[in-house]
Amino acid sequence: MSEIPATMSASVLRKIHDIAIEERPTPTPAADEVLIEVASVGVCGSDVHYYAHGRIGDYVVEQPIVLGHELSGRIVAVGADVDPARVGRRVAVEPQRACRVCDFCKAGDYNLCPHMEFYATPPIDGAFCGYVTIQDDFAFDLPDTISDHAGALLEPLSVGIAAAQKGGIKVGDRVLIAGGGPIGIIAAQVAKAFGAIEVVVSDINPARRELAERYGVTRTIDPTQESLDGLDAHVFIDASGATPAITAGIRATRPGGTVVLVGSADEIPLSVPDVAMRELNVTGIFRYTGTWPIAIALVESGQVELDSLVTHVFGLEQVEEALSGDGALDSLKRIVVPGTARIDDPVAAARGGVA
């Protein structure tokens, strides 16, 4: 095991559109924590939003912050209360620390903990850096069959799992998903794994529809050319955040069906009679609880494919480029590898399987 350096490089968001590499002290794990050398970090839409706008709802960047919350790595040190045998283990990180004593935590709904400290959510630093700490039981051992990149993407997979759980997807269901981006494609794979007999993805972008078809969805729809009315979906999952997609999806949900809002729309017009008279269940998800073991099982069994979602890989000095390019037509999932200063050809590096 290599010696742990006293300092580490970190990509720091100082203000909107201003990211710089800084040298920071390497964190020391508390008694119940492990120290992780970061291997792979996925770029999330929330990271892009903080970079471009400096806030998401009530969460405002008021001081320099390290972004990135989708991560995998290797345990290099442990706190006093943690089994030292964990040193050297490859792990995927559930990037949050709940208080564990409030009513929500005691009920198992720790995602709703009012005292939650979540990576890359102001003022908590994230993982675009060399090392991070996390409570021992939130660092999940990765089998050798799961790559570092896929380990990082267990976080967005957990979002897809939480959406499927909230929607109550079961064998024989018809599921409609709005949005063919990373979350939409992951949610589609999860829906199939949960037993959906038909999975339909709606997206205005033909490139996204083509990508969704590669992952075995039953059908794709261009909502600008084809109405969703009459689809009669048991579960509708919005992964687009687009108001027209949400309203169309609600209309396409069968009476007694469930609408799960995952996208980040601020406000939408809602037809109360449409919801009430058809007894629709409209809900949202906020992160996840207890999903990492399920995610690992889905990937290890081959029911969900993550590695092929990676289209670009960047070094730590290229975080700004990674954040600026998210959402491009040729981009599905972008990965930052903190241990690499620069990757001169990100697309080639991704296709070459940087580990």
How many residues are present in the chain? 355
pLDDT at residue number 338: 96
Query: Strands 65-66, 18-25: parallel, antiparallel or unpaired by DSSP?
Result: unpaired
pLDDT at residue number 346: 55
pLDDT at residue number 332: 87
Cα 293 off chain centre by: 15
Q: What residues contact residue 64 under an 8 Å CB cut-off, 6+ apart?
A: 12, 13, 14, 22
Token representation of residue 250 = 């609600």
Token representation of residue 23 = 């040298």
pLDDT along the chain (355 residues), means of 10: 89 96 98 98 95 92 97 98 98 98 98 98 97 98 98 98 98 97 97 98 94 94 95 97 94 98 85 94 96 98 97 96 75 90 59 40
pLDDT at residue number 269: 87
CA distance 352 to 355: 9
Q: 233, 265, 262: which is closest to 249 by C-alpha?
A: 233
- What is the per-residue burial (b if ≥16 Cβ within 10 Å, else e) of 32-62? bbbbbbbbbbbbbbbbbbbbeebeeeebebe
Token representation of residue 132 = 């991070």
Full set of structural domains in the chain with CATH: 7-153+306-351 (3.90.180.10), 160-284 (3.40.50.720)
Q: Cβ(35)–Cβ(29) under 8 Å?
A: yes
pTM > 0.85: yes
Cis peptide before 95 (omega within 30 of 0): no
CA distance 60 to 53: 9
CA distance 328 to 224: 20
Q: Cβ(34)–Cβ(82) under 8 Å?
A: yes
According to DSSP, the residues that pair with 321 across neighbouring strands are none
CA distance 278 to 259: 12
Cα 96 off chain centre by: 13
